[in-house]
Chain A
Amino acid sequence: MSSRERILGRVRRALTDVVPDGRTSTEAVPRNYLRAHGERSTEQTVQLLAENLTDYRAIVHRCDAEQLPDLVMRLLAEHGTQEVLVPSGLPPAWLSAADPVRLADRATSTAHELDRVDSVVTGCTLAIAETGTLVLDGSPGQGRRRISLIPDHHICVVRVPDQVVASVPQALERLDPARPSTWISGPSATSDIELNRVEGVHGPRKLDVVLLG
């Protein structure tokens, strides 16, 4: 008998006291928790996102489509960026004013090549206001998971208000489980040394979030 059969057999014998009810988890579990916490206007939700991102040491900027190229250029210059990674599908206008060398996100690039790049600019799929979280799922303009991980500086553009949801339940509803997703709440951090929070261990140490709208 295979280990699979033995484990499943043990599970069934362990549950002889349980009467199977055939219900799914959705039917069997009370869902009387909230879909979102508190009543907010759209603008208040965006404001909460900005506050929570800032609370976790992301640097938040707001601008409109016209101002965006100059803002991105300034953020790259402030970081001293020579080379910037660009995922396919990123609107060309976003980087139209930037000086640094643009490198395309390629499947063939090695991790060592990516490690030499200073910054990356991406969009996102959505952002969660209550938790200050950005979600990337590899859709156009977001690139492979590793490009928002290896460079030391990540600029993420969120279209407000249409990419902003209030809460975790609202976020999951809108995501496609088949896509690999990365949830980012502030820059990389550790609390392993005497529970002191230190930003930047392995992921980007600097996270600029641009709320575009």
Chain B
Amino acid sequence: MSGTFVGMPAFPEAASRAVRDATLRGNLRHATHTIRAKRAQAVAELSDWAALRTAGMRIKEHTLRHLDRYLVQLEESVTAAGGTVHWALDAEEANRIVTRLVQETGESEVVKVKSMATQEIGLNEALAAEGIRAYETDLAELIVQLGKDRPSHILVPAIHRNRGEIRDIFRTEMGRWGRPAPEGLTDAPAELAEAARRHLREKFLRAKVGISGANFMVAETGTLVVVESEGNGRMCLTLPQTLISVVGIEKVVPAWRDLEVFLQTLPRSATAERMNPYTSMWTGTTDGDGPRTFHLVLLDNGRTDTLADRVGRQALRCIRCSACLNVCPVYERAGGHAYGSVYPGPIGAILSPQLRGTASAIDASLPYASSLCGACYDVCPVAIDIPEVLVHLRERVVEGGPAVREGNRVVLKPAKGHAAERAAMRAARWAFTRPGALRAGQRLASGTRRLHPRTLPGPGRAWSGTRDLPAVPVEPFRDWWQRTHGGKEGTG
């Protein structure tokens, strides 16, 4: 994934720093609570929500089970409609393809629709290295780009910024990228939006190349769908002469009719609206309307590895609505940056370590960035069992085992730092299979309870640093049972 995140500290370290930032916590709390309440209301309007959720899950599940078939069909449909399809195994190949396509147009700047896939591959940085300037046009992405910041939310990437901070960024940075912010800009949201409109309009009107992702691709018809609010997406998708869309292979759905499910569940789960202000659908190219050239870059970048994991593959059902972020108590306090990946929150905690592998400290820590409360599963419109995958990935981090990396079967070693945990589990297994030893141990623990330290020494220190040690009872349960019931079954 993007080089932006190289050297990122593991989640606990990044999170403990984030939770001490009172402004950040205030911004996040306000935003997540606002959208949480609105979403519940929007969902309640549809009496068949459970059936839509099941249908969405089953469509995605069916597609993933026959992904090769649908990708080939999609390629045929897009080609027949006048588009060109490219395949990219990884970020580097995708960046190379896009860079070449832009260079072939002779242009040195592009306008971009907000896209997770292009962030994942670090496209802006790759283009910059070749002298091509990429302008983000989503208001939140603009705030992030001008602020030399990183996005902290899938849908509202500048959720961690309040209006005062945004005004300061616009005042100091807009002039360096193009039209400066107007004199006397205040922090009123309407004024800030107006400043962004004027700043970006000059870029839209002269742009020759647009770059986007897509929310859905329909195999049957070759149609791509982009869901947005501001109209910046429509600008980038229809004004330039060349359109390049970089889309993860898991975004395909089989049939036109399948959109009827997702166009009901996505907006309500994402921005809590009945429908987002703008949805664009295009099939190849259209004479006299929109771009003359259309390229679709199909991106793997760890998705086929994820597909090979029978438990973890359900993460590929994700439609990037971000409902799981907004309900997550951990996300609400730690913020998106702590996850160290373009996919933050609960979905990021299962998607990033699968797309990237669990070799780095941050990726090995992500499956633990959760309290397993299950709220994310409850709101997920495609019913991804995020807690199940988290537990599965924790097991992989601690125990190692078979996995697929870059298409090859590998056996992962247990991650470093979990030796004490493994030793403790081995000891527990030994004791639980030997009742005599267990009883002796429990009695010893009860007898010495006044001498127990408040925190664990040695390798256990890290564990007890964030937890209260359980108090040992005065006598073991089995001794108490023996004493009060004489070892007999109760008569009540």
A residues apposed to B, CB below 8 Å: 2-4, 6-15, 17-18, 20, 23-26, 28-34, 37, 52, 56, 107, 111-112, 115, 128, 130-133, 138, 144-146, 149, 168-169, 172-173, 177-196, 198, 200-204
Residue in B220, B229, B249, B274 whose beta carbon sits within 8 Å of that of A188 in the complex: B229
| Binary contact readout B227-256 vs A (1 if CB under 8 angstroms, 0 otherwise) | 001111011001100000000010001111
B220 partner residues in chain A, CB cutoff 8 A: 177
CB-nearest residue of chain A relative to B233?
A202
| Binary contact readout B69-82 vs A (1 if CB under 8 angstroms, 0 otherwise) | 00110000000010
Q: What 9 A-B pairs have minimum CB-CB distances, sorted nearest first?
A: A203-B231, A25-B254, A10-B304, A202-B231, A14-B308, A183-B279, A131-B275, A192-B140, A177-B221
A145 partner residues in chain B, CB cutoff 8 A: 234, 238, 280, 289-290
Q: Is B371's CB within 8 Å of the partner chain A?
A: no
B88 partner residues in chain A, CB cutoff 8 A: 3
CA distance A26 to B261 in the complex (A): 12
Q: Which of B81-129 contact A (CB under 8 A)?
A: 81, 87-89, 93
Residue in A6, A111, A168, A177 whose beta carbon sits within 8 Å of that of B281 in the complex: A177
Residue in A26, A128, A138, A195 whose beta carbon sits within 8 Å of that of B156 in the complex: A195
Residue in B27, B47, B260 whose beta carbon sits within 8 Å of that of A37 in the complex: B47
A25 with B193, Cβ < 8 A, contacts A56-B277, A111-B204 known: no
CB distance from B317 to the nearest CB of A (A): 13
CA distance A192 to B223 in the complex (A): 28
B residues apposed to A, CB below 8 Å: 27, 30-31, 34-35, 45-48, 51-52, 54-55, 58-59, 62-63, 65-68, 71-72, 81, 87-89, 93, 137-140, 143, 156, 158-159, 162-163, 166, 189-190, 192-193, 196-197, 200-201, 204-206, 218, 220-221, 223, 229-232, 234-235, 238-239, 249, 253-261, 263-264, 271, 273-283, 286, 288-290, 298, 300, 304-305, 307-308, 310, 313, 404, 407
CB distance from B75 to the nearest CB of A (A): 8
Contact A194 B231 (CB under 8 A): no
A133 partner residues in chain B, CB cutoff 8 A: 275
Contact B67 A15 (CB under 8 A): yes
Contact A192 B138 (CB under 8 A): yes
Contact A24 B190 (CB under 8 A): no
A128 partner residues in chain B, CB cutoff 8 A: 275
Contact A8 B59 (CB under 8 A): no
Residue in A7, A111, A132, A179 whose beta carbon sits within 8 Å of that of B286 in the complex: A179
Residue in B89, B229, B239 whose beta carbon sits within 8 Å of that of A7 in the complex: B89
CA distance A131 to B271 in the complex (A): 14
Contact B71 A6 (CB under 8 A): no
CB-nearest residue of chain B relative to A131?
B275
CA distance A2 to B201 in the complex (A): 40
A201 with B307, Cβ < 8 A, contacts A12-B68, A146-B238 known: no
Contact A131 B274 (CB under 8 A): yes
Contact A203 B277 (CB under 8 A): yes
CA distance A159 to B1 in the complex (A): 49
Instruction: Known A-B contacts: A11-B71, A13-B404, A33-B51. Give 16 more (CB < 8 A).
Output: A7-B249, A8-B71, A10-B304, A10-B305, A14-B404, A25-B62, A29-B62, A33-B48, A107-B288, A145-B280, A168-B264, A177-B221, A182-B280, A183-B278, A201-B197, A201-B230
Contact B54 A30 (CB under 8 A): yes
Residue in A130, A144, A178, A189 whose beta carbon sits within 8 Å of that of B221 in the complex: A178
CA distance A185 to B234 in the complex (A): 14
CA distance A66 to B197 in the complex (A): 38
Contact B59 A203 (CB under 8 A): no
Contact B189 A198 (CB under 8 A): yes
Contact B307 A15 (CB under 8 A): yes
CB distance from B443 to the nearest CB of A (A): 48
B159 partner residues in chain A, CB cutoff 8 A: 195
Residue in B63, B72, B218, B282 whose beta carbon sits within 8 Å of that of A8 in the complex: B72
A56 partner residues in chain B, CB cutoff 8 A: 273-274, 277
Contact A34 B234 (CB under 8 A): no
B47 partner residues in chain A, CB cutoff 8 A: 34, 37
B200 partner residues in chain A, CB cutoff 8 A: 202
CB distance from B139 to the nearest CB of A (A): 4
Contact A184 B55 (CB under 8 A): no
A11 with B189, Cβ < 8 A, contacts A183-B275, A188-B278 known: no
A25 partner residues in chain B, CB cutoff 8 A: 59, 62-63, 253-255, 258
A8 partner residues in chain B, CB cutoff 8 A: 68, 71-72
CB distance from B349 to the nearest CB of A (A): 22
B166 partner residues in chain A, CB cutoff 8 A: 193
CA distance A28 to B54 in the complex (A): 12
Residue in A9, A11, A191 whose beta carbon sits within 8 Å of that of B271 in the complex: A191
A196 with B232, Cβ < 8 A, contacts A37-B48, A56-B277 known: no
A200 partner residues in chain B, CB cutoff 8 A: 193, 197
CA distance A116 to B353 in the complex (A): 50
| 26 A–B contacts from the bound complex (CB under 8 Å) | A3-B88, A9-B407, A11-B68, A13-B308, A14-B308, A15-B68, A17-B310, A24-B254, A29-B62, A33-B51, A33-B261, A56-B273, A107-B289, A115-B205, A145-B234, A145-B280, A177-B256, A188-B277, A189-B229, A190-B193, A190-B230, A192-B156, A192-B158, A195-B159, A202-B204, A203-B230
